[in-house]
Amino acid sequence: MTPQLRFQNKVALVAGGTGALGRAVSTAFAREGARVIVTYRRRPEFDAFISQSKSNAESVTGVMVDATDAAGVARMLEDVLANGGALDILVNTIGGYHGGKRIWEEDLSSYEQMMSLNLKAGFVLARALIPVMIRQSRGWIVNVASRAGYGQSPGAALYAASKAGALALFDSLAAEVKSHPICVNSVVPSIFDTPANRQAMPAADFASWPKPEEIAEVILFLCSPEARIIHGAAIPVYGRT
């Protein structure tokens, strides 16, 4: 008899699933038997991801949506849940970095962009999905924050503030759903190994950077029954960085 896969019969929504970490998370869920829904904005990125492996092609579907657009997210959810569909897991990997300026040199559009990507997208997604999870009496949410959300980040204050906000948001959400069988946690990476980081820091020691696949494994664990007592946590995944 074929052993049951870890996430068989589960549906996972991976927001930003065509990004560096999002791909690793989506691939891991697909390999472990989940039906995966990936949000994307750029169709060629999604097509490239799908062509990477057979399990991606079989188990992953894509939805083009701007996760900061509440109406768009509501429409997406309606489509996913049509005909008795379920949504068990939300992993939000949407985010972006901006740095290199001090606060008094920053412009308002950078502020809006950081808050939108790193805070608002998670808020819009969680706000839409929590009522579904409460109705289903099950759910797992993992938001990807950043080590920059703790302490001082000179030259990247807007990024740091947006990630600190996301940590607080999901920590408060965890408290709000305490009486429901829904797990809400954050993972907190420092730098990890992505093509963009390699390009930006060609002289860095890439070997010391955690791989997206390693972070994905932690995220899958947080969405597993074995981790049900982990709730309201922010798990550091710094490796040795």
Ligand X SMILES: NC(=O)c1ccc[n+]([C@@H]2O[C@H](COP(=O)([O-])OP(=O)(O)OC[C@H]3O[C@@H](n4cnc5c(N)ncnc54)[C@H](OP(=O)(O)O)[C@@H]3O)[C@@H](O)[C@H]2O)c1
Among 119, 133, 141, 144, binds ligand X (CB under 6 A): 144
Q: Which two tokens stand for residue 112?
A: 């809006």
Does 139 contact ligand X by CB under 6 A? no
Q: Is 25 in the site for ligand X (CB under 6 A)?
A: no
Residue 26 binds ligand X, judged by CB under 6 A: no
Residues 186-225 touching ligand X, rule: CB under 6 A, are 189, 191-192, 194, 197
Residues 66, 42: contact at Cβ < 8 Å? no
Using CB under 6 A as the binding rule, whether residue 13 contacts ligand X is answered as no
Task: Please say whether the beta carbons of 52 and 28 come within 8 A.
Answer: no
Stretch that binds ligand X, among 12-20, 28-36, 51-59, 77-85 (CB under 6 A): 12-20
Single-letter amino acid code for the residue at 235: I
DSSP state of 19: S
Query: Total binding residues for ligand X by CB under 6 A?
Result: 27
Which range binds ligand X by CB under 6 A, 14-22, 76-84, 169-177, 221-229?
14-22
Just list the catalytic residues.
159
Q: Quote helix, strand, coil % in the chain, to nearest 5.
A: 50, 15, 35
Contact 193, 209 (CB under 8 A): yes
Strands 60-64 and 11-15: unpaired
Write out the residues near ligand X by the rule CB under 6 A: 16, 18-22, 39-42, 45, 66-68, 93-96, 117, 121, 144, 146, 189, 191-192, 194, 197
